[in-house]
Amino acid sequence: MKISRLKKPLGFLTLCLVLVGFIGFVEKQAQLKSFGGLEVDLEAVSGVYFVEDKEIEQIIHSAFPELKAGFPVTEIPLAEVEKRLAGHPFIKSVQASIGHKGILKVRLQQHEPIARIARPLGADGYITSEGLIIPTSPTYTSRVLILEGDYAEKLMDQGSVEGMPELMPLIRFVTENEFWSAQVTELEINKKDDIRLHQQVGKQVIEFGDALDIESKFKRIEVLYKEILPRKGWNAYERISVKFKNQIVCE
């Protein structure tokens, strides 16, 4: 009976010793590993790469020149690598890890531009899906909704649309609708309550007013397209406005 009782704690102790030994072996092997190269996994946005693998590789090699063959993987500063790449204007998120054979794997996600602020006397900028404003890419151009006007330029200087949060629902409404994304070519934003729509068909600029009551205003524009302009002619009016509640003004 005594021997039987001793077998269980001895078996457990043996298992613990084996486990500790295995962990020590794994840690020792990890310490012996050295830097085995760089692997960049860059996710495209709508099939477009605003930053290329080569640029990411150059940034890492320039910022961390010690990353060469023989450099211990345990000393690779993963957090610093992520921080350095996160500072790139087109990078939304970064995840760095050590893979098989000491490979430094860097997985990146790009920002998604949904509109472009065009400035006649300055550099343009993209508005991202999160409402940030980032510079345009020297390599690729994204075909998105154009924004112009004094207030649009003011937003560019602020670096985000926080000063006009109601603008994002308007941009999304236009860009996510197949018809309106084809018909509305530009938003002219002169003030918060002075937005004008430039059309693909028709010479008139539609006075939209502020970026509120969006669905109601577009329903009135739809009535204009379906019932009024086909009878009167697409260029029959000099001024069209839907900025007043429940009204379409055609003059």
Distance CA 243, CA 211 (A): 9
- Domain closes at, from 91, 110, 129: 110
Co-location of 143 and 199 in the same domain: yes
Structure tokens at 116: 């472009």
Residues 184 and 244 in one domain: yes
The answer on 127 and 95 residing in a single domain is no
- pLDDT tens digits for the chain (251 residues)? 444 554 555 555 555 555 545 454 444 444 457 889 999 999 888 777 888 899 999 999 999 999 988 899 999 999 999 999 999 999 999 999 998 889 999 999 999 999 999 998 888 999 999 999 999 887 777 889 999 999 999 998 888 899 899 999 999 999 999 999 999 999 999 999 999 999 887 778 899 999 999 999 999 999 888 888 888 877 778 888 999 988 888 88
Same domain, 73 and 178: no
Identify whether 42 is part of a domain.
Answer: yes
Please tell me the predicted confidence (pLDDT) of residue 140: 78
Q: For residue 20, is it within any domain? A: no
**Domain identity same for 63 and 170:** no
Q: What is the pTM (predicted TM-score) of this model?
A: 0.78
**Distance from C-alpha of 104 to C-alpha of 37, rounded to nearest angstrom:** 6
Answer yes or no: do 104 and 130 share one domain: no
Is residue 166 domain-resident? yes
Residue 199 lies in a domain: yes
Choose the final residue of a domain: 110, 133, 162. Answer: 110
Residue 153: give the domain boundaries. Answer: 113-250
**Count: domains in the chain:** 2
- What lies within 8 Å, CB to CB, of 119 at 6+ separation is 125, 148, 153, 156
- Is 219 found in the same domain as 125? yes
Q: How far apart are CA 211 and CA 90, in angstroms?
A: 27
- Assess if residue 83 is contained within a domain: yes
Domain termination residue (choose one: 110, 144, 175): 110
In a domain, 6, yes or no: no
pLDDT for res 46:
73
- Residues 90 and 149 both lie in one domain: no
First and final C-alpha spacing in the chain: 105
* Sign of the CA dihedral running 182, 188, 192, 194: negative
CATH number of the structural domain spanning residue 81 = 3.10.20.310
Is the distance from CB of 196 to CB of 188 less than 8 angstroms? yes
Residues 128 and 236 in one domain: yes
